[in-house]
Amino acid sequence: MIPFKKIAISMFVFGLAGVFVACSNDDDSPGIPGGEGRLAISARATYNPMMSGQGQKTTIVELSSFRVNFSEIELEYDGIIDEDNMYGSEDDIELKGPFEIELLSPTPVTFANILLPNGRLEEIEFEFEKNANPQSTLFNQSMRMEGTINGAPFVFWHDFEEEIEVEFEEGGEHTIILNDENGITIDFDLTAVLDATPTVDLSSAVDGNGNGIIEIGPNDTDGNQALAQAMKQAIKEQIDLLDD
């Protein structure tokens, strides 16, 4: 049986324009009796703009940016293969960030490529946290969206700090690490949030202070706090895990 509960893994991180990442300070991955496989972790946001609204009110939403900040990523195993080629006890892998990621990209953004012990993955946990980089547009925010509502510029942001857990699909192609190359994508379905969620109606967003920008945040000056809370909750509910 492998005698550890939490393992800090050094990461091979891809250099990406506009993506700020920091990795674990560990110099080497621990020796794994049961062998290792590689896992690439990516993230993306999907949005297919549609015209939606109630009655004669029609809202056209276009997005130009959607950024998130994760303080850490944790992979939870259902069992790790030990030196006897048997599944051992549950173990966790922790990847230290922060990971600041622009999700509106033509292809998923790969922000970590790591060696992992062979075993069966159960879930991934990522922690939203306020960005601490004063040079970032995400400074003091954990999530930020920019775009237009009927042509008027808008910004949605939130500073919530919360752990989100997403389970791997049982029997999925990349659920088991076994001396091979694997990939997973954290998917944010913004189409479902903005065009199919009854609690999120951007036609109700207002530019309360008249500065030309519709601000939607937990303490914005435009009066859209309730909408910000609804958007945050809807986004959390539309996060899924995809096999690459």
pLDDT digits (tens, 9 = 90+) for 114-163: 998 888 888 999 999 999 999 999 999 999 999 999 999 999 999 999 99
Q: What is the pLDDT of residue 126?
A: 92
Q: Is the pLDDT of residue 71 over 90?
A: yes
Number of domains within the chain: 1
| Beta strands, E only, the chain | 6-8, 20-21, 36-46, 51-52, 59-80, 92-102, 109-117, 119-128, 143-149, 152-158, 162-167, 176-177, 181-189, 214-216, 239-243
Structural domain contains residue 1: no
Do the beta carbons of residue 153 and residue 93 sit within 8 Å? no
Q: Is the pLDDT of residue 31 over 80?
A: no
Domain that holds residue 47: 6-243
Going by pLDDT thresholds of 50, 70 and 90, the confidence category of residue 84 is low
Q: pTM for the complete prediction?
A: 0.79
Alpha-carbon gap, residue 186 to 116, rounded angstroms = 18
- Which has more confidence, 68 or 201? 68
Structural domain contains residue 208: yes
Q: Is the pLDDT of residue 57 over 50?
A: no
Whole-number percent of the chain with pLDDT over 90:
52
Going by pLDDT thresholds of 50, 70 and 90, the confidence category of residue 18 is very low
